[in-house]
């Protein structure tokens, strides 16, 4: 016999006990659709203030370039450019951008943890190991070398702008800032585009290949400011990185690979520009 709850009359003989449900068990059929709606809203908000907004700006930048009277290959875009004339103010603004990127990646990680996930479930273990580093370096070589070839072909075909990895002034802080920028770019992009986005899409029951394509297309979209080659190259990178994550559930190798690719591009260009004739 079920005991009556405080404040409720005792059930009469032959009658069923009154139904009692806690807030956690009340109408469970309504909780899942509500959670799904909240996850979609969260995705919309996160990308409206991070890389989704970057994709929209990138598209508009490409449209502006296409409206110019000169072909794309005769236009240029700088990835790391001075933000102020005063040296120390420029440094402060460059570091502000680094902090913003770190915060973007941190936002994705925080929301996953706040939603009940553990970071190791999305591939962020407490410690890096040798396999992560080796895998990251191999990925960097596998992506970086063909990516450079694709950029050259796209530029020769007139489908890409000339990308200048850095036009920062030759100051004492240039190389440290470029290293920080490379690491911050890698952390923000891989955490948001792979760890966060693909986990949320899985929770929304989006198929693995559809999630892979969504992540890759968005990655390519916020590189459209570089031209069509930048879109295709970064979309291919997104497909490979996303597939690696789906199969290994390790995010650190992607962050390492992305960091290495950006360090080679940013620092290598800064050191070789003006010393190697073929560099623009």
| 29 located within any domain | no
User: 97-126 as b/e, with b when 16 or more CB fall inside 10 Å?
Assistant: bbeebbebbebbbebbeeeebeeeebbbee
223 Cβ partners below 8 Å, 6+ apart?
58, 230, 231, 233, 234
- In contact, 251 and 233? CB cutoff 8 Å: no
Task: Lowest mean pLDDT of 118-122, 179-183, 206-210, 233-237, name the range.
Answer: 118-122
| 12 located within any domain | no
| 277 located within any domain | no
Looking at per-residue confidence, does 48 or 7 come out higher? 48
- In contact, 192 and 105? CB cutoff 8 Å: yes
Our count of domains for the chain comes to: 1
What's the pTM value of the predicted model, to 2 decimals? 0.86
The pLDDT value recorded for residue 4 is 45
Q: How far apart are CA 198 and CA 20, in angstroms?
A: 39
| 27 located within any domain | no
The pLDDT value recorded for residue 32 is 77
The pLDDT value recorded for residue 7 is 46
Instruction: Label residue 143 by pLDDT band (50, 70, 90).
Output: very high
Q: Give the mean model confidence (pLDDT) for residues 85-106.
A: 98
| 24 located within any domain | no
User: 21-48 as b/e, with b when 16 or more CB fall inside 10 Å?
Assistant: eeeeeeeeeeeeeeeeeebeeebeebbe
| 265 located within any domain | yes
The pLDDT value recorded for residue 129 is 82
Q: How far apart are CA 76 and CA 57, in angstroms?
A: 17
Q: Whole domain around residue 92: which residue ranges? A: 42-272
- In contact, 162 and 79? CB cutoff 8 Å: no
| 25 located within any domain | no
| 232 located within any domain | yes
CA distances from 96 to 49, 162, 200 (A): 16, 26, 28
The pLDDT value recorded for residue 29 is 35
High-pLDDT (> 70) share of the chain, %: 87
CA distances from 73 to 68, 140, 146 (A): 11, 26, 19
Q: Give the mean model confidence (pLDDT) for residues 236-247.
A: 96
User: In whole numbers, what is the pLDDT of the chain averaged over residues?
Assistant: 89
Query: pLDDT, tens digit, for every residue of 9-55?
Result: 545 555 544 444 433 333 433 347 788 999 999 999 999 999 999 99
Looking at per-residue confidence, does 130 or 193 come out higher? 193
Query: pLDDT, tens digit, for every residue of 176-215?
Result: 999 999 999 999 999 999 999 999 999 999 999 999 999 9
């Amino acid at each position: 016999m079920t005991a009556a709850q405080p404040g409720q009359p005792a059930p009469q003989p032959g009658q069923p006990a009154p139904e009692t449900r806690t807030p956690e068990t009340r109408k469970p059929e309504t909780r899942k659709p509500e959670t799904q709606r909240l996850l979609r809203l969260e995705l919309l908000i996160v990308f409206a203030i991070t890389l989704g907004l970057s994709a929209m700006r990138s598209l508009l930048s490409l449209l502006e370039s296409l409206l110019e009277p000169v072909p794309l290959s005769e236009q240029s875009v700088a990835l790391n450019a001075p933000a102020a004339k005063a040296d120390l103010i420029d440094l402060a603004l460059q570091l502000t951008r680094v902090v913003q990127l770190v915060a973007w990646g941190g936002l994705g990680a925080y929301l996953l943890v706040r939603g009940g996930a553990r970071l190791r479930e999305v591939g962020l273990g407490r410690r890096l190991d040798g396999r992560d580093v080796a895998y990251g370096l191999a990925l960097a070589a596998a992506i970086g070398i063909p990516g450079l070839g694709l950029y050259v072909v796209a530029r020769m075909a007139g489908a890409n702008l000339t990308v200048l990895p850095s036009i920062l002034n030759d100051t004492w802080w240039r190389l440290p800032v470029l290293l920080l920028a490379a690491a911050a770019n890698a952390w923000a992009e891989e955490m948001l585009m792979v760890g966060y986005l693909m986990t949320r899409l899985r929770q929304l029951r989006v198929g693995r290949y559809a999630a892979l394509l969504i992540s890759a297309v968005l990655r390519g979209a916020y590189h459209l400011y570089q031209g069509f080659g930048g879109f295709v190259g970064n979309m291919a990178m997104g497909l490979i990185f996303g597939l690696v994550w789906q199969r290994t559930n390790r995010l650190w190798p992607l962050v390492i690979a992305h960091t290495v690719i950006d360090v080679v591009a940013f620092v290598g260009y800064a050191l070789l520009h003006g010393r190697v004739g073929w560099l623009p």
